[in-house]
């Protein structure tokens, strides 16, 4: 594992894809600001352009930092990120949540910093030496590394980012070679949490778990642990649900049936589907979408930028953007597979998982496949912190790409 000579941009196609997506994103943010009603989105594309400049600097810096250094610094970065998450809980700002730290004119989301730090920390934990994943209990370190930021983010509360931390954990474990069955058993309590609503479905879930346990034959203690944690999670469903704010409950409920609150929480989803559906094959034309123009689309520059794409560029536009993302993710996977060291490969794979999760959750939300969680479209949506995270991660990726 000798580090090769630094060659700067090792995967120009990846850089081209990320720049293309970021610039198209700014164009769509510009379009999102073309509305008939006074909107914060008007003119905000210039701010995103500024963020892109900052992100490019971060990208360049990341390409210059040897991955070894990152591995060394990972615990310090992780500690700093956790500290930031604690600080933001104390003095943070934001709509309904405490998720932003104000630094004069710019606002930073510590959750995004924490995502990168957690990825680095997990990669450090799970790489370098051969790991023994024979027992579930041996996974306690990576789980603990993720649970801390996960819980802090959930307290903001930012359900969407919390889900991303879960995705990062699964991705890292998956890439480190943890058997799929073990990952399944690890995640099973989360499924219980969702199914705890219905005794019959939840009961069926237990039979499935029992089947896995029987065939997989883990340690007895582990089996008991899995069963107990599933039981606890399912029992927690009702109290947890009741502790959610009504707007959060509504967001989850309208996902099942938007018409139950067509004027309230369901409004966003219905209007988003109307915008996308009315786009048809070729769309209403760039900056022309009436749903967006007349302010029927909420958060059209961040969460629902995908709906603007659907309305204005049509199915053709959606396919084009999905193709760009597919290429980008394919490049990331290739780099992760070909990476000469485990640390870099794990980092790249986790970054690809973050991009993938954001893409699926966000677009799924705009068409009603996913609940409304407020996750932005990667590289496209307005938002500096997330762009910074991605460009830094992609900078690291360029470095990793040079170490095949």
Partner 1 sequence: MMTDSRRLAFRRQRGRIALGALTVALAVLLSTFFRLQILRSSQYQLRSEENRLRAIGVPAPRGTIYDRNGLVVAENVPGYVISLLPGPSDTIASTLRRLRSHLEIGPEEEEDLLEENRARPNDPLVLRDNASFEQVSFVEQRRPEFRRVVVEMRPHRRYPAGPAIAHLIGYVNEISETELEQPRYEGYEPGREIGKDGIERQYESQLAGEPGTRYVEVNALGSIVREFDGGLGDPADPGQDLQLGIDLELQMMADSIFPEGMRGGVVALEPRTGEVLLLYSHPTFDPNRFIGGIPTGLWNSLRDDPAKPLLNRVSASAYPPGSTWKLIMATIGMRTGALAIDTYMQHVCTGALAYGNRTFHCWRPGGHGGLDLSGAIKESCNVYFYQAGQRIGLDALTEGAAALGYNQPTGIDLPYETRGLFPESREWFDQRYGARGWTESVVWNLAIGQGENQQSLLRQALFYTALATGEPPIPPHLARSEVLADRRVSWSLDLPDARRRELRDAMIRVANEPRGTAYGFRLDRWTLAGKTGTAQNPHGEPHSWFVGFAPAYDPRIVIAAIVEKGHPDGTVSLAVPLATRLINQYLESIRLPPEPERLQVASSSSASEAIPTP
By C-beta, is 68 or 334 nearer to partner 1?
A: 334
What's the rounded Cα separation, in Å, for the pair 362 and 28?
16
Q: The tokens of 63 are what?
A: 């390409």
Give 169 or 318: the residue with its C-beta nearer to partner 1.
318
The residues, any chain, with a CB within 8 Å of residue 396's CB and separated by 6 or more, are 62, 63, 65, 67, 70, 344, 347, 348, 351
Residue found under tokens 């996960």: 150
CB of 325 to partner 1, least distance (A): 8
What does DSSP assign to residue 231?
Answer: H
Q: At its nearest, how many Å lie between partner 1 and the CB of residue 358?
A: 12
- Closer CB to partner 1, residue 38 or residue 104? 38
CB of 375 to partner 1, least distance (A): 14
Burial of 134 (C-beta count, 10 Å sphere; 0-12/13-18/19+): exposed
Closest to partner 1 by CB, 223 vs 373, is 373
CA distance 48 to 38: 19
Q: How far is the CB of 195 from partner 1 (least distance, A)?
A: 21
Task: Check: CB of residue 404 under 8 Å from CB of residue 7.
Answer: no
> Shortest distance, CB of residue 311 to partner 1, whole angstroms?
8
Nearer to partner 1, 51 or 325 (CB): 325
For residue 117, the Cα-to-chain-centroid distance in whole angstroms is: 14
Q: How far is the CB of 216 from partner 1 (least distance, A)?
A: 18
Smaller CB distance to partner 1: residue 302 or 366? Answer: 366
**At its nearest, how many Å lie between partner 1 and the CB of residue 44?**
19
Which chain residues interact with partner 1 by CB under 8 A? 35-37, 130, 174-175, 177, 271, 273-281, 290-291, 293-296, 310, 314-315, 318-319, 322, 325-326, 329-330, 333-334, 336-337, 342, 345, 349, 352, 356, 360, 363-364, 367, 369
**Those residues with Cβ within 8 angstroms of residue 7's Cβ, 6 or more apart along the chain or in another chain:** 402
* Host H or E run for residue 106: strand 106-108
Q: What DSSP state is assigned to residue 137? A: G
State in angstroms the smallest separation of the CB of 312 from partner 1. 12
Closest to 172 in 3D by CA, of 135, 137, 144 = 144
* 20 vs 360, beta carbon nearer partner 1: 360
Closest to 365 in 3D by CA, of 325, 288, 310, 296:
310
Beta bridge partners of 107: 102
Count other C-beta atoms under 10 Å from residue 262's C-beta: 14
User: Among residues 281, 302, 277, 282, which one has the least CA distance to residue 291?
Assistant: 277
Q: Shortest distance, CB of residue 87 to partner 1, whole angstroms?
A: 35
CA 10/CA 15 separation, integer angstroms: 9
Rounded distance between C-alpha atoms, residue 223 and residue 200, angstroms? 22
Residue 343 CA neighbour count, 13 Å, CB half: 21
Nearer to partner 1, 71 or 312 (CB): 312
27 vs 326 by CB, closer to partner 1: 326
Which of 368/395 has CB closer to partner 1?
A: 368
> Does residue 108 sit in helix, strand or coil?
strand
Q: Parallel, antiparallel, or unpaired for β 106-108 and 101-103?
A: antiparallel
Q: How far is the CB of 57 from partner 1 (least distance, A)?
A: 30
CA distance 360 to 365: 8
Q: How far is the CB of 231 from partner 1 (least distance, A)?
A: 29
Tell me how far apart the alpha carbons of residues 101 and 249 are, in angstroms, rounded to a whole number.
Answer: 27
Nearer to partner 1, 35 or 396 (CB): 35
């Amino acid at each position: 594992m000798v580090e090769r000579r630094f060659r700067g941009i090792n995967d120009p196609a990846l850089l081209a894809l990320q720049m293309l997506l970021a610039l198209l994103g700014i164009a769509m943010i510009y379009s999102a600001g073309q509305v008939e009603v006074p909107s914060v989105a008007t003119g905000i594309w210039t701010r995103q352009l500024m963020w892109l400049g900052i992100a490019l600097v971060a990208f360049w810096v990341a390409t210059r930092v040897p991955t070894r250094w990152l591995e060394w610094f990972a615990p310090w970065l992780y500690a700093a990120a956790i500290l930031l998450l604690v600080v933001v809980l104390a003095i943070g700002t934001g709509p309904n949540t405490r998720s932003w730290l104000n630094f004069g004119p710019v606002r930073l989301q510590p959750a995004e910093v924490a995502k990168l730090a957690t990825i680095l920390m997990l990669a450090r934990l799970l790489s370098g030496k051969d790991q023994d994943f024979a027992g579930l209990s041996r996974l306690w370190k990576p789980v603990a590394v993720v649970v801390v930021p996960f819980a802090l983010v959930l307290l903001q509360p930012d359900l969407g980012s919390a889900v991303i931390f879960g995705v990062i954990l699964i991705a890292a474990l998956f890439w480190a070679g943890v058997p799929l069955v073990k990952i399944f058993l690890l995640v099973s309590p989360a499924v219980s949490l969702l199914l705890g609503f219905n005794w019959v479905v939840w009961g069926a879930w237990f039979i499935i778990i029992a089947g896995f346990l029987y065939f997989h034959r883990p340690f007895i203690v582990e089996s008991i642990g899995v069963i107990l944690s599933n039981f606890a999670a399912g029992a927690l469903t009702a109290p947890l649900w009741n502790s959610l704010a009504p707007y959060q409950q509504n967001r989850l409920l309208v996902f099942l049936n938007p018409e139950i609150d067509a004027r309230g929480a369901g409004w966003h989803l219905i209007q988003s589907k109307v915008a996308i559906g009315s786009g048809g094959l070729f769309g209403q034309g760039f900056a022309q979408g009436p749903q967006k123009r007349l302010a029927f689309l909420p958060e059209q520059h961040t969460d629902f930028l995908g709906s603007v794409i659907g309305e204005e560029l049509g199915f053709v536009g959606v396919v084009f953007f999905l193709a760009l993302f597919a290429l980008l993710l394919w490049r990331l996977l290739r780099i992760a597979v070909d990476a000469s060291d485990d640390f870099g490969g794990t980092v790249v794979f986790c970054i690809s998982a973050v991009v993938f999760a954001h893409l699926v959750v966000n677009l799924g939300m705009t068409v009603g496949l996913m609940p409304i969680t407020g996750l932005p479209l990667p590289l496209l949506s307005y938002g500096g912190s997330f762009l910074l995270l991605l460009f830094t991660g992609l900078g690291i990726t360029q470095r990793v790409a040079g170490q095949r």
